[in-house]
Each structure stands twice: as structure tokens, then as C-alpha cells.
Amino acid sequence: MTDPVAAGMRAQLARRAERVTEGDGAIGWKLGFNAPATQEQLGIDRSLTGFVLRSGVLATGSTHRLDGRAVLAEAEVAVELGRDVAAGTSPEQALGAVVALLPALELVESVDLSLPLDAILAGNVFHRAVCFGPRVQASAPGAGTLLVNGERRASLDHAATSAHLGEAVAFCADRLAEAGAKLSAGDRLLTGTLAPPAAVSAGDRVRLELERLGAVELAFS
């Protein structure tokens, strides 16, 4: 029987390679479905990985046009790597490869969990775009707040924002190695959502504030 994760990753990486060959720039990777309840629903016991390209990077403070499509905004911590991370690296060693942290808002298309795993992976795990905040050389993001239209949507304590950064890097290195890819120096990795995603509509504004990193913000039209 064909492994749907392996098949999906082959299709995903082929799509990424085609986009890069056409002139897009490789920025890094993302983890998706890090919540245990969602993993159980999908029948998986680990997160899925996707890719991030330059064409999908938005400027903080900018306005993103929705074009009538349903979009979710996810509050995340992104890490930037100073060296390659190989498969089998421990979370502690993986964390040592991190040279900077960034607040980030990832935009994902409306999630359809009824799709087969290979289709979800081939579609890049619903990734649409990402907005990075300041790049900061810090060991932890600190506590944070997710705001939607100026109203607090979620409060994030220090433990929640920093607990799994090393695990995320190590896990992504393993997942990519299984698919014949690698986590490289200079890559940025979106380490997974910190709070339930916020559904956004035209006229909304979403802001993530992390006390040691600063803020990232997007408006929608």
C-alpha cells in the first residue's frame, strides 16, 4: 500500500522545485496541524510539513486582498537557522541551531480535513502566505497576545510560546529527510499555531504581539 504522507511529500517537493526553477525564492518551511485533536482527526501522530516561498511573504502592516476566499490567520513563532539540521538531531541540539526568532502570522486557506493526506500535502498544507515581524536574536519569544480588530483573542504565556521550538526544528528535519529534502542554514521555519486560528474577513485587522520580539500585523480587504 502506498504511504499517503510519502506520496504527498513527493508531490509537494516537486511543486516547490518547479516554483523555484521558475524564479521564486525559497524562504523555508512550515509545520501544520500541531494540535493533538486535529492530528487524531486526520489519523496522524505527528505534524505535517509544507514550504514557504518568497512570493508568499507579506510586509507587516500591509493589507492583504482576500478575493472573496475564506482565510484563517494563525499566530506563530518563526525560527531562523544558522546551520543545517540533520535528521536525528535532538531537540536540544536543534534549538542550538536557531540564530533568531520572529513573530509571524501565517494565512491558510479554509481547511478541509475530509481531503486525503496526500492531497493535503500536495496542496502545501493549505498555506497561502506569511507575514514576518522583526527578526530578533533572542532565546525565547516571551508572553504574547493575539488581537483581532483591537480585541484580545488569545493570551499566550511564556511557556506556550517557547516550549516546543527545539522539538519543532528537530521534527521538521526528520520529516524533510524522509522525503529527500533537508533543513538548511538560513531557512525560516513556522513552528505551529499558538492559538486557535482566527477566521478573517474584509475590513479585519490581526496583530500578534510577543514581548521579547515585537509585533506583526496584517489588515484584510
Name the domain count of the chain. Answer: 1
- Indicate if the pLDDT at residue 68 is higher than 90: no
Give the integer Cα–Cα distance in Å for 193 and 136. Answer: 19
> Own/partner pairs for 4-8, CB < 8 Å, 24+ apart?
4/116, 4/117, 4/118, 4/121, 5/44, 5/48, 5/117, 5/118, 5/121, 6/178, 6/179, 7/118, 7/121, 8/117, 8/118, 8/119, 8/120, 8/121, 8/122
Model confidence pLDDT, tens digit, residues 18-33: 999 999 999 999 999 8
What integer pLDDT is reported at residue 168 of this predicted model? 97
* CATH code of residue 156: 3.90.850.10
φ and ψ at 142, to 5 degrees?
80, 180
What integer pLDDT is reported at residue 45 of this predicted model? 80
Of residues 49 and 45, the one with the higher pLDDT is: 49
Of residues 132 and 114, the one with the higher pLDDT is: 132
Domain range for residue 129?
Answer: 4-220
> Taking the model in full, what pTM does it have?
0.95
- Indicate if the pLDDT at residue 63 is higher than 80: yes
- Indicate if the pLDDT at residue 188 is higher than 70: yes
